[in-house]
Amino acid sequence: MFICTGYAAQSADAPLAPYTFERRDPGPSDIEIEILYCGVCHSDLHTNRNEWHNSVYPTITGHEVVGRVRRIGSAVTKFKVGDLAGVGCLVDSCRTCENCAVGLEQYCIPGATGTYNSPDKHTGKMTYGGYSKAIVVDDYFALKIPENLDLAAVAPLLCAGITTYSPLRHWKVGPGQTVGIVGLGGLGHMGVKFARAFGAHVVLFTTSESKRADGERLGAHEVVVTREPDALKPWAGKFDFILDCVSADHDINAYLNLLRRDGTLCLVGAPENPQPIAAFSLLGGRHSFAGSGIGGLPETQEMLDFCAEHGITSDIEMIAIDQINTAYERMLKSDVKYRFVIDMATLPAA
């Protein structure tokens, strides 16, 4: 074991503050990563404030981790000391069920081990995430980070990026298709970038006129401001695929009605309340309403390689670790374009 420092929440209503804890030493198949940057995901806030009612305190969140390998286990061949490496939302799974066997560890049937707030089979405690100086992970669950991209802007790809890349790939979005992206936030801005890179005609739906110029800059061919009366009417029956990136309660039926026959709307945002779906929003055009989580390890690596080839990263605002509590309040107000990333050099060592 070794001593590590991090930023932790001690209760649902406590601000995050410095915390010292123990990490396990690398085993034969493990690598130890010195964390350089960690993205800030809305899931971190949900967990630290126990909004999903499953938090075990203290919590150290962060699952968009980029850093350099500083120790490796005796059986590790994938990485060497000094390599760039990343850790996303998962650090383990059963590796034997039918989903793990095909590289879909995010859907592990017994349940994957999350990077934070998840039972840790190595320590018997809970996993601690990337708001810390270092992390130890099995090398299978670590990702090779491209050298040619801005490392800080790569970090959010490990959650926001793969969450949008995976469904676009699964539903084979590409040239000749019209694709809608609902919402221009941490998820939506990556959805726009990927859909455009895949060759689709991209239409962004946003409630804010102020996001029109940004939507176009990020790659949307057209921007529809949904607060305008009858804004959706001209788009009825026009879309092959819609990626809904909104986590606030909203009318999903309005977007299902924009699908062509056999079109799919995929939800990647997570509204707090159950969403009512009208039967005829599905029946009328043989529409599909689907959901998607993150990607498995092979697909996440594929995404990173695609981003390296096409020069795609997240739009970020860098913060120091002692700004995290303020960042959470700003995130709740959508006052970030489009993802906070923590410079972990601002976290003192043990």
Over the chain, what is the mean pLDDT? 96
Q: Quick one: pLDDT at residue 172?
A: 98
**Tens-digit pLDDT profile for residues 150-196:** 999 999 999 999 999 999 999 999 999 999 999 999 999 999 999 99
Q: Quick one: pLDDT at residue 247?
A: 86
CA 255, distance to chain mean position in Å, is 23
Contact 45, 331 (CB under 8 A): yes
Q: Which two tokens stand for residue 127?
A: 């996993």
Neighbouring CB atoms inside 10 A of 328's CB total 18
Instruction: Give the pTM.
Output: 0.95
Q: Which two tokens stand for residue 197?
A: 């890179």
What residue type is assigned to position 319 of the chain? Answer: I
Flag the least confident range among 113-122, 271-280, 327-336: 271-280
DSSP state of 103: T
**Tens-digit pLDDT profile for residues 19-74:** 999 999 999 999 999 999 999 999 999 999 998 899 999 999 999 999 999 999 99
Would the pLDDT of 328 be above 80? Answer: yes
Could you tell me the sign of the dihedral formed by the alpha carbons of 55, 344, 113, 288, in that order? positive
Would the pLDDT of 83 be above 90? Answer: yes
**Tens-digit pLDDT profile for residues 290-304:** 999 999 999 999 999
Q: Quick one: pLDDT at residue 35?
A: 98
Distance, CA of 338 to CA of 321 (rounded, Å): 18
- Characterize the bridge pairing of strands 178-182 and 201-206: parallel
Task: Give mean pLDDT, residues 201-213.
Answer: 95
Contact 203, 181 (CB under 8 A): yes
Half-sphere exposure of 162 (CA within 13 A, CB side): 28
Q: Quick one: pLDDT at residue 248?
A: 85
Q: Quick one: pLDDT at residue 60?
A: 98
Angle at 204 between CA 183 and CA 187, to 5 degrees: 40
Angle at 23 between CA 299 and CA 346, to 5 degrees: 80
Per cent of the chain over pLDDT 90 is 94
Contact 338, 215 (CB under 8 A): no
Angle at 308 between CA 210 and CA 220, to 5 degrees: 25
DSSP state of 43: H
Q: Quick one: pLDDT at residue 89?
A: 97
Contact 273, 246 (CB under 8 A): no
From the CA atom positions of the chain, what is the Rg in Å? 20
Task: Give mean pLDDT, residues 117-129.
Answer: 95
Per cent of the chain over pLDDT 70 is 100
Q: Quick one: pLDDT at residue 135?
A: 98
Neighbouring CB atoms inside 10 A of 8's CB total 21
Q: Quick one: pLDDT at residue 79?
A: 97
Strand partners, 222: 203
